[in-house]
Amino acid sequence: MKKTRRIIQVLVLLITPFIIAGCEADILEQPPGDAVTAEEFFNTGADLEAYTNDLYAVLPTKSVYIDDSDSDNILGVSAGERLRGARIVPTDRGSGGWSWGYLRRINYFLENYDRVDDPGATAKYSGIARFFRAYFYFEKVKRFGDVPWYSEVINQDDEELLTKARDSRELVMDSIMADIDYAIENIPAEKELNRITKYTALILKARIALHEGTFRKYHGLDDYERFIEESSSAAKELMDSGAYTLYTSGGEEQAYLDLFAMENQNTTETILAVDYEFGLRTHDLAYRMTAPTQGRWGLTKELVNSYLMTDGTPFTNQSGYETLSFYEEMQNRDPRLTQTTAGPDFATYGSQDPEPVDLDITRTGYRVIKGLPPKGPQWGSGGSFNDVILFRYAEALLIYAEAKAEIGTLTQGDLDMSINKLRDRVGLPHLNMAEANANPDPYQESLYENIEGPNKGVILEIRRERRVEMVNEGLRWDDLMRWKEGNKVEKPIRGIYFSELGAHDFNNDGNFDVYVHDGDTSGAPDEVTSTININERPLTEGNSGNLLLFEGGSFDENRDYYYPIPMEDLELNDNLEQNPGW
């Protein structure tokens, strides 16, 4: 009977926040009806662990591998609303990201955890809770800028708190940094693939501080140096710990591909991953990559152009690079290119047999294969169970180099312990700081308009490295926002180049793979496996050129770096003000 009662108490405590979160419109007005349960429940370290297990719902899951399809990296079936400039002010209270349910769960824990007389457990799990609060508020600041800071559970009669104005960015960010510092100090330095550890807190701090520091720098806000320095320090602490290294098993032509396609992650490079298991928890990412009616994801031509040659020179330095055939442009490139998109000799993961060219499942012609598991049941709807990486060591190396470059303290030694480790993994020559700054790449300069100063060339190269290393991991839109490069969404998105209508050989084996036509396929050779109708996917020059898939959206520099607050929230709280321009 006692055991049954205990189980019921646990369920009540864990289910109550879910019920409340299902009514987001009223989340800040809920009475603390579970106070009695708290007295009965918060008794042991196991209780604290059980509660914080519920807080992992704050983190994203498969969405990190979807977000880039609404950026200048990847295009899917159609351009998303933020690319088109089609975002609108939401109506319903608590919609559009202005929701606070998870925060109540976190604050409820932080008000009650110290009932437990177990110093080790209270330190660890309060650290984990504050990690989640830092993460929660970081997402809010990225989306809305100034937001109200709540560090306590709001009672129904707390009129002042319920109707408070937004707090300053300074207050909220300082509070976030205090939370993540507390997490670093109190969570043990363990390697746990699916659990928050000191190392997860370090990489999150590095990510938060880099974003805030560079956002402030490029948007003309004060005190950016402090955050950038905090970012490089957190990344360096993680690097110096020796806990992680880059995953290199399989060599230059395989390791990067393996890292994302493997069924079960390991802790060589991966700091935190979402665990998926056959028959228990699955996702649909492979289906989105392979079904012609689903994602149809494809790398943009601009991204493909950004991959270096194997000798370390820019692909765009070649005369006539714009009109190279698919086979030609894929030769002698950074190995990550054909471990991210299907190259001329593409075979599915774990197979040696080349796959037929299939351009029906990719809008741009550059099919996404990063994170694609072996062909078979995992390609079915909801059939995938390869783990999804949320944080990995490579990001720490990129953060460290970027932070040092942006603050003006970067050295060649810094590059050698960061960017050049990533290049070593794929056998590329090292980035030389002096050469990069003396000769900034004109193509990369055309992509980023706001970089100035003596480190311009090396910052461009670090951004190139970040883009190709982290593509399709959900960071690109945030990068554009913090660098104040939102106007990139106004540029057309192009795909693969075709010299003319007719048949094309994609893998240089003497057989035709693709037939480009204007509605008449009668002349297509029998061996063709894909067709492109230019009435549906036009070419830039009429009967030749790159696939022109999106002519560019609109981006209001005075408005679109933030999202709008829902109308009902503004109506119910006179102290809230809408973001500028909305």
Residue 461 is assigned to a structural domain of this protein: no
What confidence score (pLDDT) does residue 446 get?
Answer: 97
pLDDT at residue number 176: 98
Question: Is residue 432 situated within a structural domain?
Answer: no
With respect to residue 381, please indicate whether it lies within any of the assigned structural domains: no
Amino acid code (one letter) for 413: G
pLDDT, residue 482, reads 98
Tell whether the model's pLDDT for residue 12 goes beyond 50.
Answer: no
Q: Which tokens in the block code for residue 204? A: 């999150």
Domain that holds residue 103: 2-58+95-241
Mean pLDDT, range 382-392, rounded to an integer: 97
* Residue-level pLDDT at 155: 81
Q: What percent of the chain has pLDDT over 70?
A: 94
> What pLDDT shows up at residue 159?
83
CATH code of the domain containing 138: 1.25.40.390
pLDDT tens string 500-517: 999 999 999 999 999 999
Confidence of residue 497 (pLDDT cuts 50, 70, 90): very high
Helix (H) / strand (E) element for 392: namely: strand 388-392
The Cα 235–Cα 82 span in angstroms is: 31
Average pLDDT over residues 544-553: 97
pLDDT value of position 22: 35
Does pLDDT of 48 surpass 80?
yes
Please give the average per-residue pLDDT across 82-92, as a whole number. 96
Give me the pLDDT at residue 21, please: 36
Portion of the chain with pLDDT greater than 90, in percent:
91
Per residue in 396-455, pLDDT (tens digit) is 999 999 999 999 999 999 999 999 999 999 999 999 999 999 999 999 999 999 999 999
Please say whether the beta carbons of 336 and 472 come within 8 A. Answer: no
Q: Is it the case that residue 557 has pLDDT exceeding 80?
A: yes
Give the residue from 546, 544, 481, 9 showing the smallest Cα distance to 329: 546
Q: Mean pLDDT over all residues of the chain? A: 93
Note whether residue 131 is domain-resident: yes
* Residue 125, token pair as written in the block: 């799990």
Neighbour count for residue 292 (Cβ, 10 Å): 12
Residue that is written with structure tokens 């937004």 in the block: 166
**Beta 545-550 vs 530-533: how paired, if at all?**
unpaired
Question: What pLDDT is stored for residue 154 in this prediction?
Answer: 86
At residue 318, the pLDDT reads 95
**DSSP single-letter state for residue 367:** B
Task: Give the pLDDT of residue 160.
Answer: 83
* Residue 21 resides in a domain: yes
Beta carbons of 223 and 416 less than 8 angstroms apart:
no
Is residue 442 included in any domain, yes or no? no
CA–CA separation, 403 and 183 (whole Å): 22
Q: Which of 125, 152, 149 is nearest to 137 (CA)?
A: 149
> 60: which residues sit within 8 A by CB, 6+ positions away?
390, 474
Q: What is the pLDDT of residue 550?
A: 96
For CA atoms 181, 186, 191, 195, give the dihedral sign.
Answer: negative
pLDDT for position 40: 78
Tokens of residue 581, six digits: 């321009």
User: Could you read off the pLDDT of 261-312 as tens digits, one per residue?
Assistant: 999 999 999 999 999 999 999 999 999 999 999 999 999 999 999 999 999 9
Per the structure, how many domains does the chain have?
1
Closest CA to 264 of 350, 369, 373: 373
Structure tokens at 495: 């795909």
Instruction: Indicate whether 6 pLDDT > 50.
Output: no
> Residue 444: enclosing H or E segment and its boundaries?
helix 442-447
What's the pLDDT at 24?
35
The per-residue pLDDT for 244 is 98
pLDDT reading at 382 higher than 80: yes
Indicate whether 27 belongs to any domain: yes
Which pLDDT score, from 0 to 100, does residue 157 have?
Answer: 78
Distance of CA 260 to the CA centre of its chain: 14
Is the pLDDT at 145 greater than 80? The verdict is yes
pLDDT in tens, 188-241: 999 999 999 999 999 999 999 999 999 999 999 999 999 999 999 999 999 999
**Model confidence band, residue 492 (pLDDT cutoffs 50, 70, 90):** very high
Dist CA 316 CA 329 (whole Å)? 10
pLDDT at 417: 98
Q: Which residue has the tokens 């929230």?
A: 569
- Does some domain include residue 183? yes
Q: How many CA atoms lie within 13 A of 345 on its CB side?
A: 7
State the pLDDT at residue 229. Answer: 98
Task: State how beta strands 270-274 and 530-533 pair.
Answer: unpaired
Q: How confident is the model at residue 13, as a pLDDT?
A: 34
